[in-house]
Amino acid sequence: MPVIIVENKEKVIEKLSEIIEKTAASSISKHGKFLVGFSGGSLAPFLATGLPKIKTDFSKWTIFFCDERLVPVNDPDSTFGLYKKTLIDSGAVPLKEDQFVQIKQGVSAEEAATAYENKVKEFFPNEKLPVFDLLLLGMGPDGHTCSLFPGHKLLNETSRWIAPITDSPKPPPSRVTMTFPVVNNADVCAIAASGKEKADMIKRVLVDKENLPAARVQPASGNVYWIVDKDAGLHLNK
Ligand SMILES: O=C1O[C@H](COP(=O)(O)O)[C@@H](O)[C@H](O)[C@H]1O
């Protein structure tokens, strides 16, 4: 599992952008499209800074959400809302709203998850599991990734691609999330983390190998890249 330690947050963004550029190019040359999953949280500003600098054919991109909070798009907690503002409305990259596979809002978490799963299935007809080209993941200070939280029963979900959650320990409580079978069927996963508040958890995941959600990101036949800055990687051997 490649762990890339760089000087600071700016270099995390550069490295992450390089991986995105390379993976997009190989996916587009392999099957003419790039099917990528975005997370929210600290990843959103990384992408707002990094994506405008990469060389790619954005018209070939379809963007999914690794997880999404069930709040209106104009709510500051909406992950799509963040990307809409920083990438689309700002004109930072030539991406259009309909290139984002959006999550239905104003319905129950169950209904939103089912509707989202059905949309994902349209891109992967007849597949037992989807194979995303790249999933861009984050890791919360408690070791969660997507909306898969430590100790939560969703960690053991094996039949659904997308699951609802109504008791997220991190607000807002209602969300939808990709499940581990989907995450671990991706071609490439990348987890970017910056800042000393992540250092202890990075150690627990990468050194102590505790069975935390972020440690379970292990694509069966793909790669997972960890990109961390010196502060987040404080306890890693250089
Ligand atoms: O709630 C969430 O948190 C994780 C981690 O966020 P971060 O700000 O600590 O990087 C994020 O990956 C996920 O998409 C989001 O819904």
Domains by residue range for the chain, with CATH: 3-229 (3.40.50.1360)
CB of 54 within 8 A of CB of 44? no
Which residue has the CA at smallest separation from atom 8 of ligand 1?
41
Q: What is the mean pLDDT of the chain?
A: 97
Q: What is the pLDDT of residue 170?
A: 97
Work out which ligand 1 atom sits closest to the CA atom of 140.
9
Distance CA 214, CA 144 (A): 6
Work out which ligand 1 atom sits closest to the CA atom of 198.
9
Q: In degrees, to the nearest 5, what angle opens at C-alpha 36 toward C-alphas 82 and 144?
A: 65
Task: Calculate how far, in angstroms, residue 210's C-alpha sits from the geometric centre of ligand 1.
Answer: 19
Q: What is the pLDDT of residue 229?
A: 98
Residues within a 6 A CB radius of ligand 1 = 39-43, 66-67, 138, 140, 147, 170
Site to probe by mutation for ligand 1, drawn from 13, 42, 178 as the one with most ligand atoms within 8 Å of Cβ, is 42
Q: What is the pLDDT of residue 237?
A: 75
Distance CA 93, CA 164 (A): 31
Closest among 96, 109, 156, 132 to 220, alpha carbons compared: 132
Q: What is the pLDDT of residue 238?
A: 61
pLDDT tens digit sequence for 14-71? 999 999 999 999 999 999 999 999 999 999 999 999 999 999 999 999 999 999 999 9
pTM of the model: 0.98
DSSP H/E element including 231 = none
Task: Calculate how far, in angstroms, residue 41's C-alpha sits from the geometric centre of ligand 1.
Answer: 4
Task: Calculate how far, in angstroms, residue 43's C-alpha sits from the geometric centre of ligand 1.
Answer: 8
Instruction: Label residue 180 by pLDDT band (50, 70, 90).
Output: very high
Work out which ligand 1 atom sits closest to the CA atom of 138.
12
pLDDT tens digit sequence for 87-99? 999 999 999 999 9
Give mean pLDDT, residues 178-196: 97
Give mean pLDDT, residues 135-157: 97
Which residue has the CA at smallest separation from atom 16 of ligand 1?
40
Site to probe by mutation for ligand 1, drawn from 63, 69, 147, 200 as the one with most ligand atoms within 8 Å of Cβ, is 147
Work out which ligand 1 atom sits closest to the CA atom of 65.
14
Task: Calculate how far, in angstroms, residue 40's C-alpha sits from the geometric centre of ligand 1.
Answer: 5
Report ipTM for this prediction: 0.98
69: which 2 tokens?
């909070």
